[in-house]
A = this chain, B = another copy of it.
Amino acid sequence: MTYRVGIINVTGFAGMEAARLLWGHPQARISSVTGRSLAGQKLGEAFPHLACYGDMPITAEIEGDVDIVFSAMPTAASAAACAPFVRAGIPVVDIAADFRLKDPAEFEKWMGQPHPAPELLAQAVYGLPELNRAAIAGARLVANPGCYPAASILALAPAVASGIVDTQIVVDAKSGISGAGRGTGGSYGYAEVNEDVSAYKVAAHNHQPEIAQELAALRETGPVKVTFVPHLVPMTRGIHATCYAALKPGVSQAEVNAIYRDFYHDAPFTRVVDTPPHTKHTLGNNMCLVNPTVDLRNGMLVAIGVLDNLVKGAAGQAIENMNLMLGLPQTAGLDLPAVYP
């Protein structure tokens, strides 16, 4: 059987990346794509890199029957797009941030507006299979993780879950510019962004509570404090999260290595490596590379996670979640080398 996938808002970077990756999926194919600004155009013409899709129309609404829906709408607009499908019993993966925070008050605090569909929050599952594989498999509504949280949580989860670190955590994250989205050139023009590094939303980015929520869930002994500082670096794709937490006394590098490898021993897309990983080694594929280093002099753990923000940080993760929700092999369509150099 080939499952039919609908993509809401295929015209953003995450939506078009889902289209790119689904082209090679052995058991799923796109049957309908929406994009209001380009409705009436053809997918293969609007986006020349997707010419393989030829005449597939971009429509204003999902058309025909679909077996699963991805929403790549902007945050706060996505819930309304997802709701009809959820209510109709069709599996939904929301790539936006609408269903990630479990507490609607937190959503309102960080997004600056009331949650658009609080009645659906209870059934939403946070879509990081390394933590929640079974729950995702049984879910009808999956909240796909943010790109920064995906890298940060995967870097920190073994340490937090095992209790070897304190819960005052620093996450210093670096992102390629595609994370800012398509058509956001006004602030992200090439001439301005090239040859520049800058921080933004210092300790005020809405991915901070998402990271804190998921790490706390691993711990079950109280909150985790996360200072999160995102930076833009001049590259197109890639997230590099460098995470710092004080180690409990006496924890060795060997113990940390063992804890990390054990935690991810059956995770097909998170690999623990022995040297600092390069974002470029994940370009275009669904891998997250994790590297923990013990700073013995200072009793600090430095845990690094890298991934492609549009793949493991968005569209690839959505397909991985789809695979689990539909009972397909977790790696179906995602077993790809990275593009290097």
Contact = CB atoms under 8 A, between A and B. Distances in A.
A338 to B, nearest CB: 4
Given A242-B229, A278-B48, A235 B196 contact: yes
Contact of A194 (B190, B273, B306): B190
B336 A302 contact: no
A246 B51 CA distance: 31
A199 B279 CA distance: 10
Contacts of A182: 189, 191-192, 341
A133 interface: no
B198 A341 contact: no
Given A197-B235, A199-B242, A298-B227, A189 B188 contact: yes
A84 interface: no
A48 B277 contact: yes
A277 B51 CA distance: 13
Interface in A211-233: 225-227, 229, 231, 233
A8 to B, nearest CB: 19
Contacts of A16: 340
B194 A177 contact: yes
Given A231-B174, A242-B172, A244-B227, A236 B300 contact: no
A134 interface: no
A171 to B, nearest CB: 10
A52 interface: yes
A184 interface: yes
A99 to B, nearest CB: 23
A234 interface: yes
B233 A48 contact: no
A337 B44 CA distance: 10
A101 to B, nearest CB: 15
A234 B233 contact: yes
Given A177-B194, A197-B278, A293-B203, A49 B234 contact: no
Given A185-B187, A199-B242, 20 more contacts: A19-B337, A23-B337, A49-B280, A51-B337, A170-B244, A172-B244, A176-B195, A183-B186, A185-B188, A188-B191, A191-B341, A194-B195, A195-B238, A198-B278, A198-B280, A202-B293, A202-B302, A231-B242, A233-B234, A284-B284
24 contacts: A20-B337, A48-B273, A49-B282, A49-B340, A51-B287, A168-B246, A172-B172, A172-B242, A172-B244, A185-B187, A188-B191, A189-B189, A190-B190, A192-B280, A192-B341, A194-B195, A197-B279, A198-B277, A200-B276, A227-B244, A227-B295, A231-B242, A233-B233, A284-B339
